[in-house]
Structures are given as structure tokens and as C-alpha cells.
């Protein structure tokens, strides 16, 4: 395989991978492009490399910066904005976990808690008890997952993997 062929394959695959996990294809592709680019890239560079529109590029670069996966940087003598990708995959992982935990797991925890405040009537006493118990069990697992992810996304790599390795042996 050629280098450029390999790069393209990686970008396309990363895009599809994102798609399966609720991250839009362009955003994942831009991220992939930055993972394999050592130089700073401008919005136009990204537009050219991936053949996508200015609006699309701008929007997704913004989101990647918000997620902490890209950094805005300046080039001396250039007025244009440039960006650099975070290359450390452990850090990338931690940041993705943080954002998605906040955006998606926490709202569910909120609902699971709310939904347990039901007024019980004489006619549905048993049913209510069972429903609450089931919500509680989902809440418990979600809370444990949430704690784990919080810990994981704040942990320093060595310490974390050292203990994790005992687990996965």
C-alpha cells in the first residue's frame, strides 16, 4: 500500500467508525486528518484535503476545538487561523469520554432519578414498586459506569493502566 492510500483509508474508516457511534462523519474525518498531520492546518487546508465546504469545515473544527481534540494556533506573519491536533490517544480518549458523559449519560441519570418520584395509588401498588425497583437497578449500574468514567477520564495514564492491567491480565 502507498502512504497516501493508507492515509486516505484511515481517514475514511475513522469517519465510518464515528458514524456508528453518533459522531458525524465529517467531524471524525477531520479529526483523523489532524491525527496524521504534523503541520498546522488552516480551514482551507482541511477543505482541500477532504473536499468539503467551508461551512461544514468551520462548524466541525469548532466542535473539535470545544471537545479539546484540536488547538487553535497562530503562524507568524499569517493572519489566518491554524489548528493543531492532539496526538496523544490517551488524552483524546479521556476528552471524548468527558464530553459524551456530560452530553448523554448525565441526562439519563437525571431522568432515572426523576422517574422514581411516582405517586403510588391503591390500585397499582405492586406495579409501582416493581417499576421503581427496575429504575433503581438501571440507575445503580449507570451511576457505577458514570463513576468509573469520571475516574478514567481524570486518571493519569500509568497509574490507571497499571491497575487495569491486573483486571485484564
Kindly report the backbone phi and psi dihedral angles of residue 73, in degrees, each rounded to the nearest multiple of 5, phi listed first.
-140, 160
What would the x/- binding string for DNA be over residues 16 to 55, using CB under 7 A? ---x----xxxx--------------xxx------xxxxx
- Sequence-ordered list of residues with C-beta below 8 angstroms from that of 53, at least 6 positions apart, any chain: 47
Out of DNA, its own copies, none, what residue 111 binds, judged by CB under 5 to 8 A for its kind, is its own copies
Q: Which residues sit opposite 83 in a β-bridge?
A: 41, 72
Distance CA 105, CA 107 (A): 6
Name the maximum alpha-carbon separation found in the chain. Answer: 76
Task: Decide if residue 168 touches its own copies (CB under 8 A).
Answer: yes
Among 8, 35, 45, 58, binds DNA (CB under 7 A): 58
For 18, 22, 39, the CA distances from 43, given in Å and listed in that order, are 21, 23, 13
Task: Decide if residue 115 touches its own copies (CB under 8 A).
Answer: yes
Q: Which residues bind its own copies (CB under 8 A)?
A: 1-3, 6-7, 9-10, 13-14, 17, 19-22, 35-36, 38, 87, 89-90, 93, 103-104, 107-108, 111-112, 114-119, 121, 124, 127-128, 130-131, 134-135, 137-138, 140-141, 144-145, 147-148, 150-151, 160-161, 163-164, 166-169
Amino acid at each position: 500500500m502507498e502512504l497516501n492510500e493508507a492515509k486516505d483509508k484511515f481517514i475514511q474508516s475513522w469517519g465510518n467508525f464515528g458514524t456508528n457511534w453518533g459522531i458525524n462523519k465529517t467531524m471524525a474525518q477531520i479529526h483523523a486528518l489532524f491525527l496524521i498531520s504534523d503541520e498546522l492546518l488552516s480551514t482551507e487546508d482541511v477543505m482541500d484535503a477532504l473536499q468539503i465546504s467551508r461551512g461544514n469545515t468551520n462548524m466541525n473544527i469548532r466542535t473539535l476545538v470545544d471537545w479539546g481534540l484540536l488547538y487553535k494556533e497562530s503562524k507568524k506573519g499569517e493572519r489566518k487561523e491554524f489548528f493543531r491536533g492532539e496526538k496523544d490517544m490517551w488524552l483524546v480518549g479521556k476528552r471524548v469520554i468527558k464530553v459524551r458523559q456530560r452530553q448523554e449519560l448525565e441526562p439519563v441519570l437525571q431522568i432515572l432519578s426523576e422517574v422514581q418520584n411516582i405517586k403510588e395509588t391503591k390500585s397499582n401498588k405492586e406495579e409501582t414498586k416493581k417499576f421503581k425497583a427496575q429504575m433503581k437497578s438501571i440507575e445503580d449500574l449507570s451511576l457505577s459506569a458514570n463513576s468509573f468514567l469520571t475516574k478514567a477520564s481524570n486518571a493519569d495514564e500509568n497509574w490507571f493502566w497499571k491497575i487495569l492491567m491486573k483486571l485484564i491480565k
